[in-house]
């Protein structure tokens, strides 16, 4: 593994002759002698990235370019680098978790719907072949406020644990805190729950957490979050072999989400026995060993919840 410590682009291009893979860390520290500006400037980043790309395509070399990111995790500076390269990959993870996720945000020659899950070990990164297992916590006894949800990351179904804590608020303006999902969506869902299911939480603090540090932006979290909040409010644990997914609209309807069959199949494969989903996500053919409870409107939620806890 040859290592070159040099920030001059011309020296790197000369040293890369005959290589199969070139790793550049980082593009903001490189400079070309043909450009009269400081390293990291827009003109330097554009020139260095363009010449590395040209070299890669001409000599059939795979070039991996590391770029600085902002505190929010986005690629730093103008997006000129993203326009030049063929693929943009983000390496995500929580500093307190050993798991890392590789996600594609741009890919000229393939899909951006896939993601890779890896574990950081003493010997380096190891592939996680069953990602759902790492995001699920198997409690020794059923716990109130805990619901397993089936999400879809690209084309890969993942099972996550959604935890909710509902507690009487001493404040005039109760808190709504969400980790792993949009906080404003949580406030909206609680309002819909009050209006269409008759469950009032206006005097309660509500905390929601997606276990494992994964951030989910899709709307399939809606129904599991409401089930978890209802479980915590009534202090009634839901069955450990139950999972849920579904989008909730402002009119109280439970809307279908994409990949319903894949989500149901993944959960059935991991041993789950019951599913609470939207009516339009119910499978046309029964899935062996899986009972599906379909909800069309939030008005049915309390009845289904009672059926599950009895």
For the chain, domains (ranges, CATH) are 1-85 (no CATH), 91-129 (no CATH), 134-309 (3.30.230.10)
State mean pLDDT over 159-186: 92
Q: Measured between alpha carbons, how far is 301 from 309 in angstroms, rounded to an integer?
A: 12
- pLDDT digits over 55-83, tens only? 999 999 999 999 888 776 666 666 788 88
Helix axes 183-197, 222-234, angle to 10 degrees: 70
State mean pLDDT over 188-208: 94
C-alpha angle 41-43-49 in degrees, rounded to nearest 5: 100
Q: Are 76 and 28 in contact (CB under 8 A)?
A: yes
List, in sequence order, every beta strand (DSSP E) within the chain: 21-25, 62-66, 87-93, 99-107, 115-121, 124-127, 146-153, 156-168, 176-179, 204-210, 242-245, 247-248, 254-255, 274-278, 291-295
C-alpha angle 282-237-216 in degrees, rounded to nearest 5: 55
Percent of the chain with pLDDT over 70: 96
- pLDDT digits over 97-133, tens only? 788 888 888 899 888 767 788 888 899 999 988 777 7
Is the confidence at residue 86, as pLDDT, over 90? yes
Q: What is the pTM of this model?
A: 0.68
Is the confidence at residue 146, as pLDDT, over 80? yes
Question: Residue 137: its pLDDT value, please?
Answer: 67
Phi and psi torsions of 181, nearest 5°: -145, 170
User: Per the structure block, which two tokens stand in for 29?
Assistant: 């520290």
Q: What average pLDDT is seen over the chain?
A: 89
Q: Measured between alpha carbons, how far is 288 from 190 in angstroms, rounded to an integer?
A: 34
Q: Give the SS3 label for residue 183.
A: helix
Name beta bridge partners: 293. 276
Question: Residue 187: its pLDDT value, please?
Answer: 94
Question: Residue 80: its pLDDT value, please?
Answer: 85
State mean pLDDT over 230-248: 94
State mean pLDDT over 37-48: 90
- Whole-angstrom distance between the N-terminal and C-terminal Cα of the chain? 62
Q: Are 157 and 150 in contact (CB under 8 A)?
A: yes
Choice between 98 and 148, residue whose per-residue pLDDT is larger: 148
Q: Which of 33-42, 131-140, 246-255, 269-278 has the lowest mean pLDDT?
A: 131-140
- pLDDT digits over 1-18, tens only? 899 999 999 999 999 988
* 15-21 contacts, C-beta under 8 A, 24 or more apart: 16/55, 16/59, 16/61, 17/59, 19/61, 20/61, 20/62, 21/61, 21/62, 21/63, 21/64
State mean pLDDT over 219-237: 95
Is the confidence at residue 134, as pLDDT, over 90? no
Question: Residue 62: its pLDDT value, please?
Answer: 94
Nearest of 93, 114, 109 to residue 213 by alpha carbon:
93
- pLDDT digits over 268-282, tens only? 888 899 999 999 999
Choice between 39 and 136, residue whose per-residue pLDDT is larger: 39
């Amino acid at each position: 593994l040859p290592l070159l410590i040099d920030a001059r682009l011309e020296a790197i291009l000369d040293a890369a002759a005959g290589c199969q893979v070139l790793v550049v860390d980082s593009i903001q520290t490189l400079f070309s002698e043909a450009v009269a500006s400081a390293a990291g400037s827009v003109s330097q980043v554009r020139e260095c990235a363009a010449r590395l790309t040209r070299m890669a395509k001409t000599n059939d070399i795979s070039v991996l370019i590391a770029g600085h990111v902002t505190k929010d995790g986005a690629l730093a500076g103008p997006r000129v680098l993203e326009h030049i390269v063929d693929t943009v990959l983000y390496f995500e993870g929580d500093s307190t978790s050993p798991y890392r996720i590789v996600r594609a945000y741009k890919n000229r020659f393939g899909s951006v719907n896939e993601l890779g899950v890896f574990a950081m070990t003493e010997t380096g990164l190891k592939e996680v072949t069953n990602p759902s297992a790492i995001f699920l916590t198997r409690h020794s006894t059923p716990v109130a406020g805990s619901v397993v949800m089936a999400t879809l990351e690209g084309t890969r179904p993942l099972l996550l644990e959604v935890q909710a804590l509902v507690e009487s608020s001493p404040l005039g303006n109760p808190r709504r805190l969400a980790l792993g999902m949009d906080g404003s969506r949580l406030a909206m869902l609680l309002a819909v729950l009050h209006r269409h299911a008759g469950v009032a939480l206006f005097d309660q603090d509500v905390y929601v957490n997606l276990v494992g540090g994964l951030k989910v932006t899709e709307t399939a979290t809606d129904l599991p979050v409401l089930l978890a909040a209802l479980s915590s409010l009534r202090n009634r644990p839901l069955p450990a072999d139950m999972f849920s997914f579904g989008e909730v609209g402002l009119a109280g309807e439970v809307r279908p989400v994409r990949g319903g069959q894949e989500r149901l199949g993944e959960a059935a494969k991991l041993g789950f026995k019951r599913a609470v989903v939207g009516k339009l996500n119910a499978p046309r053919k029964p899935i062996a060993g899986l009972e599906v409870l379909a909800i069309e409107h939030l008005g049915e939620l309390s009845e289904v919840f009672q059926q599950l806890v009895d």
